[in-house]
Amino acid sequence: MQATFLVKEAWELLEKSMVYFRGRPVGTVAARDPYVEALNYDQCFMRDFVPCALLFLTNGRSEIVRNFLIETLALQSSDKQMDSFNAGQGLMPASFKVELWDEEQYLTADFGEHAIGRVTPVDSCLWWLILLRAYVKATGDIALAHQPEFQHSIMLILKLCLADRFDMYPTMLVPDGAFMIDRRMGVYGHPLEIQALFYGALCSARELLSGRRGEFYKQIVNQRLSVLNLHIRQYYWIDLKRLNEIYHFRGEEFGETAINKFNIYPESIPYWLTEWIPETGGYLAGNLGPAQMDFRFFTLGNLMAINSSLASDRESQSIMDLIEQRWQDLVGYMPMKICFPAVEDLEWKILTGCDPKNVPWSYHNGGNWPVLLWSFAAAAVKTGRTELAWRALEIAERRLSEDEWAEYYDGRNGRLVGKASRKFQTWSIAGYLLAREFLEHPEHLALISFTDDPEMLEWMGYARNGYDSQKC
Ligand code: GLC
């Protein structure tokens, strides 16, 4: 189908997905599928609204984004209770909906206490900060972020994210299913996607904080950014050279001189990887913990690591090289694969708890998701590899409208519309439009991308010295 028709159709559908609260637009529903029961897809999800919001911002329609930020800020202070247990104050809802009582409209939030599996939406507060910063960048309305309620909200999020925990790593420790993959998938611990969003959120907070307390927080944020950056670049990176090193790791090393710090056993390198890793190209691992390196390729984590500059320039180029060289696996017939490869057999049973929705090459377990197009386009613009994103866009254009803007696709190469996929999924629609927007107007990339900050680089110098003196 011709791009102009697609764009027109997509915009019309997006307009219809808008949620109104007391006469004002405040978000978009997750899907408007007329064929199946809505469950919670008639709600506005925080993460699903992000591509819509960025698109509205690039089109000068900031009002809906402003309303969204104000309303979700108010929801942050609402009751977050499950079976009498109160969740952390800074937590932001996974989703919300408009309800009617006594002919008056109210917003009610779901912090995971209603969601399938009762999963914690850790990514919501991170996306919220990233979006607030994008709104300020697009509109220049820093006054909104400097309002006391907004400063308070930012600090609540920071307190929750930076709180002391039982953890020796600078990465953020989360339960399973804490982000876009919101079902059990063996992505608990220190999954890459959360770390990339955490990094982007901290960069955003640093730009938004004001006043004396704000200055104090900025110092803490800068320290954390630098050690997080070092940790991810140093330990999550995988390419052929690094794989060779891991392959020759010795186990059971004790003390400060250990090279194999996390005690990764070479036997845990999966067979598929030694065949799959290209000569040039690499990526950031899915997760890292004691004797655990998740070697799966997680697309959104890698792309957001590029966009936030958590990955170095060289690493970013390498990630794009890998996508180019493993195109059929990662893009296939519908951009893009959420993670590669799928877990199968006994591993599927253990990691997913026998989840029939996450069978191999379906849904979160190796399905293809059109929404990933926008972050791919952004990463392509950032790395100067736009020809790749145009190619992906053309592939998507063959199917999106015909398949009624499906939520996800199944199969090794994403040829089948997902078994339980929703139709008219809003973030598939907005993801397509936003990808075009970034490619046609690269200056909009500034809304979602970050560059290394000089103050942080200075801290990195200190932190690196710390690492080096440990080694001596
Ligand atoms: C599914 C997805 C989640 C998304 C939600 C609404 O639960 O896994 O990432 O936010 O649907 O589209």
- What is the mean predicted confidence (pLDDT) over 128-139? 98
CA of 283 to the centre of ligand 1 (A): 25
Task: State the closest ligand 1 atom to the C-alpha of 41, by its place in the atom list counted from 1.
Answer: 6
pLDDT at 464: 66
Q: How confident is the model at residue 303 (pLDDT cuts 50, 70, 90)?
A: very high
Q: How confident is the model at residue 463 (pLDDT cuts 50, 70, 90)?
A: low
Q: Where along the chain do its domains lie?
A: 2-471
- Tell whether the model's pLDDT for residue 472 goes beyond 50: no
CA of 49 to the centre of ligand 1 (A): 11
- What is the mean predicted confidence (pLDDT) over 19-48? 96
CA of 230 to the centre of ligand 1 (A): 31
Q: How far apart are CA 439 and CA 443, in angstroms?
A: 9
Task: State the closest ligand 1 atom to the C-alpha of 425, by its place in the atom list counted from 1.
Answer: 12
Of 40-54, 344-358, 439-453, 456-470, minimum mean pLDDT range = 456-470
Which residues pair with residue 283 across a beta bridge?
Answer: 238
CA 433-33-37 angle, to 5 degrees, is 150
- Pull the structure tokens for residue 353: 């708890």
Per-residue DSSP letter, 444: G
pLDDT at 456: 67
CA of 71 to the centre of ligand 1 (A): 21
Q: Which residue has the higher pLDDT, 135 or 462?
A: 135
Task: State the closest ligand 1 atom to the C-alpha of 180, by its place in the atom list counted from 1.
Answer: 9
Of 39-48, 90-99, 110-119, minimum mean pLDDT range = 110-119
pLDDT at 126: 98
pLDDT at 323: 98
Nearest alpha carbon, ligand 1 atom 9: 180
Q: For the chain, give the percent of residues with pLDDT over 90.
A: 91
Written as one string, the DSSP assignment of 413-442 is: TT-EE-TTPPSSBHHHHHHHHHHHHHHH-G
Ligand 1 interacting residues, C-beta cut-off 6 A: 30, 45, 47-48, 180, 182
Task: State the closest ligand 1 atom to the C-alpha of 116, by its place in the atom list counted from 1.
Answer: 7
Q: Is 187 helix (H, G, I), strand (E, B) or coil?
A: coil
Nearest to 178 by CA among 71, 303, 91: 91
pLDDT at 66: 98
CA of 180 to the centre of ligand 1 (A): 6
CB atoms near residue 69 (< 10 Å)? 22
Architecture of domain 2-471: Alpha/alpha barrel (1.50)
Task: State the closest ligand 1 atom to the C-alpha of 183, by its place in the atom list counted from 1.
Answer: 8
Q: Which of 182, 369, 429 to mutate to test the pocket of ligand 1 (most atoms within 8 A of CB)?
A: 182
Nearest alpha carbon, ligand 1 atom 6: 30
Q: How far apart are CA 109 and CA 96, in angstroms?
A: 4
Of 111-125, 139-153, 319-333, minimum mean pLDDT range = 111-125
CA of 178 to the centre of ligand 1 (A): 11
Q: Which of 47, 126, 339, 423 to mutate to test the pocket of ligand 1 (most atoms within 8 A of CB)?
A: 47
- Tell whether the model's pLDDT for residue 227 goes beyond 70: yes
**CB distance 352 to 183 below 8 Å:** yes
- What's the mean pLDDT when you consider all of the chain? 95
CA of 13 to the centre of ligand 1 (A): 19
Helix axes 386-397, 372-383, angle to 10 degrees: 160
Q: How far apart are CA 204 and CA 188, in angstroms?
A: 24
Nearest to 119 by CA among 45, 63, 210: 45
Nearest to 94 by CA among 118, 67, 62, 64: 118
- Pull the structure tokens for residue 248: 């020759």
Q: How far apart are CA 77 and CA 95, in angstroms?
A: 14
Phi, psi (rounded to 5 degrees) for 52: -65, -45
Neighbouring C-alpha atoms within 13 Å toward the C-beta of 160: 22
Of 63-77, 168-182, 443-457, minimum mean pLDDT range = 443-457
Burial environment of residue 143 by CB neighbours within 10 A (0 to 12, 13 to 18, 19 or more)? exposed
Q: Which of 43, 179, 180, 183 to mutate to test the pocket of ligand 1 (most atoms within 8 A of CB)?
A: 180
Which residues pair with residue 110 across a beta bridge?
Answer: 95
Task: State the closest ligand 1 atom to the C-alpha of 48, by its place in the atom list counted from 1.
Answer: 10
Nearest to 236 by CA among 282, 299, 175: 282
Q: How far apart are CA 204 and CA 391, in angstroms?
A: 31
Host H or E run for residue 208? helix 192-208
- Tell whether the model's pLDDT for residue 130 goes beyond 80: yes
Q: Which of 32, 43, 45, 47 to mutate to test the pocket of ligand 1 (most atoms within 8 A of CB)?
A: 45
Q: Is 47 helix (H, G, I), strand (E, B) or coil?
A: helix
For residues 31, 372, 189, 451, the Cα torsion angle rounded to the nearest 10 degrees is -130
CA of 460 to the centre of ligand 1 (A): 36
Task: State the closest ligand 1 atom to the C-alpha of 115, by its place in the atom list counted from 1.
Answer: 7
**CB distance 306 to 382 below 8 Å:** yes
**CB distance 205 to 188 below 8 Å:** no
Nearest alpha carbon, ligand 1 atom 4: 180
CA of 149 to the centre of ligand 1 (A): 29
For residues 137, 141, 69, 430, the Cα torsion angle rounded to the nearest 10 degrees is -40
pLDDT at 471: 42
- What is the mean predicted confidence (pLDDT) over 352-379? 98
Q: What is the pLDDT of residues 46-73, one digit of tens each?
A: 999 999 999 999 999 999 999 999 999 9
CA of 96 to the centre of ligand 1 (A): 13
Q: How far apart are CA 308 and CA 382, in angstroms?
A: 10
Nearest alpha carbon, ligand 1 atom 2: 180
Task: State the closest ligand 1 atom to the C-alpha of 407, by its place in the atom list counted from 1.
Answer: 12
pLDDT at 337: 98
- Tell whether the model's pLDDT for residue 156 goes beyond 80: yes
Q: Measuring CA to CA, how many Å separate 155 from each of 217, 224, 341? A: 8, 15, 38
- Pull the structure tokens for residue 285: 């691992």
CB atoms near residue 224 (< 10 Å)? 20
Nearest alpha carbon, ligand 1 atom 12: 30
